[in-house]
Amino acid sequence: MAILRLISFALGLICSFSFAGQNSVWIIGEKTVSFYSPNQEVQTLEGISAQSSLVDPKTCHLWVQSQEGLLQIFPSLKVQTKTTSKEKILGSEILEDFFITFSDTSWTVRALSGDPVRSFPSLASQPVGLQGNKQIGFWSLQFDREENHLDLIHFDEFGKLLWSKPVSQSAELWSLPKLILIPALDQIWIGFTASSTTHAYSPMVELWTTNGERVKKYPFSDRGLLLDTCTTPNQDFLLARDIPSSPYTVPLFSFIELLSPSEKPKLLYQAFDNYLISSLQCSSDGFWVLQKSVLGGQKPLLVELSGQMQEKIVHSLKEPAWKIHACSLQ
């Protein structure tokens, strides 16, 4: 697989992405929250177990939902706002000037201060992902773990459900689905891991229109997990997936690929051997990849990639981490 890393290096030189801005990233750990920017080393705030989180990509302000409630954290690691709400955060970044939290019975629209603006009855008992804006509406996924049902829902800013469409109703779903909206191209990308006729689990990606029409399915012939997805400033859809040598054994290999409606997946980057790409972020200045070792005793790696998918910096993190949020620090 070292040969594949060389191939991904060469393809990265061909598949160049254009970016502008200053790259920063939040790192969500098991009991820590850390911030990194080019002007400083990784700064860590301990004692916070973030169960869900999202970032304001324009200011780098972070919201986390913890056992203490909703916390707003600045890049300086100052905890600015604290509310006692136990609602979970929907989505991974601020949409326009608000964000949404949810409970089993209701959803709450919150201002950037964290104050509630309005509430409406729950649209989904287990929502995952949030994409859209006030002009065109919003999309989310209803992920029923027990029944293995996955639905795409569309609603307006006041909580009116416009429609709900089934995505997967029979296959066993293995991990949290991913939702990406590209409004300019009328594209909704849905990625998930499901059982198939050939493997116990394999990645599945579907392309939909914003009107709720399924355009195309992209099944993968290899066994493995769909790990994460993101969209570049050029409106390219990227996905990360793994290929284990056999179930629950090593070696294991993870990749980032470019997927377009009319072409086969194109390899862009291979992670280090036996590392899972647990989180992938497309930012204004390149890419961030959080890699987690499947072997004991190995620390997670935060890898910064250029627009040509070349490794710029590899940070060995001191604490376990599972998620990252990219933003532009002004």
Does residue 12 have a pLDDT over 70? no
pLDDT of 215 > 80? The answer is yes
Beta strands in 202-260 (DSSP E): 202-208, 214-219, 226-231, 237-244, 252-259
Contact between 103 and 122 (Cβ < 8 Å): yes
Over residues 61-114, the pLDDT tens digits come to 999 999 889 999 999 999 988 888 889 999 999 988 999 999 999 999 999 999
The whole-chain average pLDDT of the chain stands at 89
Please indicate whether residue 247 or residue 273 has the higher confidence score (pLDDT).
273
User: For the domain that residue 70 is a member of, what is the CATH number?
Assistant: 2.130.10.10
What pLDDT, on a 0 to 100 scale, did the predictor assign at position 191?
Answer: 96
User: What value does the mean pLDDT take over residues 32-57?
Assistant: 93
Structure tokens at 237: 């859809």
Residue 298 confidence (pLDDT) above 50:
yes
Tokens found for residue 122: 């729950």
Q: What is the pLDDT of residues 253-273, one digit of tens each?
A: 999 999 999 888 999 999 999
Within 8 A by CB and 6+ apart from 40, the residues are none
Q: What percent of the chain has pLDDT over 90?
A: 70
Domain range for 197 is 2-328
Count up the domains in the chain and report the number: 1
Residue 153 binned pLDDT confidence (cut-offs 50, 70, 90) = very high
Taking CB atoms within 8 Å and a gap of at least 24, the contacts of 48-54 are 50/323, 51/88, 52/88, 52/89, 52/90, 53/26, 53/28, 53/89, 53/92, 53/323, 53/325, 54/89, 54/91, 54/92, 54/93, 54/94, 54/99, 54/325
* pLDDT(129) > 50: yes
Do 267 and 4 form a contact (C-beta atoms < 8 A)?
yes
Cα dist. 182→188, 249, 323 in Å? 6, 36, 22
Tens digit of pLDDT for each residue in 188-198?
A: 999 999 887 77
What is the tens place of the pLDDT at every residue in 309-324? 999 999 999 989 999 9
Q: Which amino acid is at 165?
A: K
The full DSSP string for 288-305 is: EEEEEESSTTPPPEEEEE
Q: Is 108 helix (H, G, I), strand (E, B) or coil?
A: strand
